[in-house]
Amino acid sequence: MTEKPGSGGTSGRGQRDLRVRVKTAKGRKLSSTLWLERQLNDPYVQRAKRDGYRGRAAYKIMELDDKYGFLKPGARVVDLGCAPGGWCQVAVPRVNALGENTKKPVGRILGVDLQEVEPIPGVELHQLDFLSDDADELVKGWLGGRADVVLSDMAAASSGHKPTDHLRIVALVEAALSFAFDVLEDGGTFVAKVLAGGAENTMQQMLKQNFRKVANVKPPSSRADSSEKFVVAMGFRGREKGGVAEETVEE
């Protein structure tokens, strides 16, 4: 189970302010300075460096899997937009991708991204646009079958305009969901990042019709000031099996 960094600290009168302050350098925007200061003071960023993960996002998938248990030994996992690779790193031991536990089935992890990703032991990486017409067939060919889990931590490039960014990421998640419909095994799981904002009704309806359980979750490691949340949709019904989710929860 994951533990929230900094939960054991103390605060109060007389305690020194240990936050790192960053001065705005000449030519650097204030927003960049604030982002840098937040990164330097983020306990999850610091913990990721200590634990050898490629980013703080690793703890988000950890917390989601601790709660819902979709990364099982032997599972075949596809991580869309996998760069820099933190989610893949977390999945490796959980699905036993390296076969280190000889008493459990060996899983497979396929990482897909537009850009080249540094190798990750236990992960098969492919430079691919998942929106291309033949992407689903290529992925199924590489896996030798269908996937048990499709992950997406993708986010569209920020425009700085929140309503526009919300629409962009919802469209991206809907595309990832359509891809998942093509590659998921019956009973499979889809996990994706979204931004709360009120335009995801169509996506939520698609999830409810095609999965038996749909959870909308904000894990502890997600920044409190961020509008991001994650959908965890379990029990894929298959494309020919419509219906309504037996359970939909907001957490």
Which of 26, 29, 162, 193 is catalytic? The answer is 193
Contacts 24+ apart (CB under 8 A), 1-5: 1/66, 2/59, 2/62, 2/63, 2/66, 2/220, 2/221, 4/220, 4/221, 5/43, 5/44, 5/46, 5/47
* Contact between 206 and 173 (Cβ < 8 Å): no
Phi and psi at residue 182, to the nearest 5°: -80, -25
Residue in 153, 95, 156, 100 with CA at minimum distance from that of residue 124? 95
Whether 193 is catalytic? yes
85 in a known ligand binding site: yes
129 in a known ligand binding site: yes
165 in a known ligand binding site: no
148 in a known ligand binding site: no
133 in a known ligand binding site: no
Annotated binding site: 85, 87, 113, 129, 153
Residues placed in the known binding site for S-adenosyl-L-methionine? 85, 87, 113, 129, 153
Active site residues: 193
